[in-house]
Chains A and B, each alone.
Chain A
Amino acid sequence: MFRLFRVRGRSMLPTLSDGDFVVARRLDSTARRSLQAGRVVCVEHRHLGPIIKRIRKIEAEQCELVSDGQLGAESEAMGSVHLQRLTHAACFAITPRGFKRVNLAVSDRL
């Protein structure tokens, strides 16, 4: 049910740094429907492969993703992603400085 991932890259700074570990919960169809904007999720992207991003917007069965930092792909480049492509929801991160929450309220800048 829970799985550990390693973050590779800096597009999710300042929330997640390169090399951080993320503990994430597997999503079933019920859990996917309860997701909200602002949540950090693991995505099996059709073209970009396995990525970790924040949900910017959910409409029907599609969601838009966004990077927290300025170094990531633009939302337009990632395109609209079907909810079924969201595999896990991040719960917290394990960083060299300790545990860190990743789903703090940042919706004001999404």
Chain B
Amino acid sequence: MLHRVIDALNGDKIDALDAHCDVPCAIYDPAPILISALTVVRMIDIMEEWMSHKPDSELSLQNAISRCVAQKEKHAEDVKHEVRVIWGDYLKAPQFEKHPNAHELVHNIMLTGSKCKQGVSREDALQLVELCNQFAEMFWETKGVETKRAVCPYKPSLETVYPVL
């Protein structure tokens, strides 16, 4: 009753206190970023393998390369998307104060991700993995979670950041 009266009289004029935040799930994890970055490297490796041995036919070669290019494109874009979500939704001023290079790191991931989409340079893909490793280390540090670097137990067998839980 009282609630209705207040609401009707001047509810809109009463100062509001926010009890909300943008993303409700609060689930953030850089693991998909690293998997996608590793996939970009793997796709380039597979394409190089295909080019180095004789395919059954030109058509099968084109088919295989096309599929790899499509996956490389998708996973490079996934890296950019997932990084943007953590940067935009999870990281806030307190984390930026602790990690003043966060913006530059994210920007470099965006640029390198685009390079990986445009070309087939393994060096660019390796650089993408390294930048994503640095991003993962920064993320877990904001959570107070220790990390370690270990070679992923599958191809392309590159050093990857894992949380020590």
Instruction: Give the B-binding residues of A (Cβ under 8 A).
Output: 3-12, 16, 18-22, 42, 46-53, 67, 70-74, 76-80, 94-96, 98-99
Contacts and interface: CB of A to CB of B under 8 A. Distances in A.
Interface residues of B, number: 25
A96 to B, nearest CB: 5
Interface string B1-37: 1111011000100111111110010100000000000
A6 B93 CA distance: 26
Interface of B: 1-4, 6-7, 11, 14-21, 24, 26, 90, 92-95, 142-144
Given A21-B6, A46-B93, A76-B142, A70 B18 contact: no
A42 B24 CA distance: 21
B14 A94 contact: no
B92 A79 contact: yes
A12 B94 contact: no
Contacts of A4: 6, 14
Contact of B20 (A5, A6, A10, A96): A10
A11 B90 CA distance: 16
A6 B92 contact: no
